[in-house]
Amino acid sequence: MLLAIAVLAFFAFTGLLAFGKIGEASYCFLLAGTALVALVVKGFNRLRELDLKNLKIVLADIERAKDELAVREERFKSVLIPLIQVIAYAGAAEGRLSSRESAKLRRQWYQKKLEILVNQLGVESAEAKEIQKFINKYAEIDNLFGERGGLKTTDPDYQQVKEKIEALSNQINEMLRQDIVNK
């Protein structure tokens, strides 16, 4: 059957060339194209059947899957930011009563892992600032303590540092209240 179609095409193109309807270059391209298609179809049995109905169904399935993925991505992102915030808060608040070196190393470890997580997930800058807000407040408290490890009533600046720590603690509590109300 395929051979008959190729022979018929050969005679049709030769007739068009003889009557001057196509040029020699067009004739060569048409014959070469016909020969190529005949060889490819003969060599690859899967190409003999073109099923447009199933192709349409497959494209519809691809579009549906694409829409489902978009919905799942949005749901993932809606869970992701609060989860990262919980991790950030836990890392900033954890180990406050442990040794100074241990707490510092633990907070540095949390900070590094959070940076990797935020970068890998492509979190927007506004959301990244939201994630960092507790870490920044606890870093301010760490700066107030400095190298002393803890605040002692015998420290000359005890009252000033205590008031600043209480103010930062109140700010952290207010930030927590706002997150509870807003989310």
| pLDDT on residue 43 | 66
Q: What is the percent of the chain with per-residue pLDDT over 90, rounded to a whole number?
A: 0
Q: What is the pTM of this model?
A: 0.49
Q: What pLDDT, on the 0 to 100 scale, is given for residue 95? A: 60
Domain residues for 23?
Answer: 2-48
Question: Does residue 165 belong to any structural domain of this protein?
Answer: yes
Q: In whole angstroms, give the CA distance from residue 58 to residue 53.
A: 9
For residue 141, which of 115, 159, 167, 110 has the smallest C-alpha distance? 167
Distance CA 34, CA 46 (A): 18
Q: Does residue 137 belong to any structural domain of this protein?
A: yes
95 phi/psi in degrees, rounded to 5: 70, 25
Q: Which of 76, 182, 176, 89 is nearest to 122 (CA)?
A: 76
Structure confidence by residue, pLDDT tens digits, 167-181: 988 888 888 888 888
Q: Does some domain include residue 23?
A: yes
**Residue 61 lies inside a defined structural domain of this protein:** no
Q: How many structural domains are present in the chain? A: 2
Residues 116 and 27 in one domain: no
Mean pLDDT of the region 59-66: 82
User: Can you give the three-state secondary structure of 116-168, one letter per residue?
Assistant: HHHHHHCCCHHHHHHHHHHHHHHHHHHHHHCCCCCCCCCCCCHHHHHHHHHHH
Answer yes or no: do 173 and 120 share one domain. yes
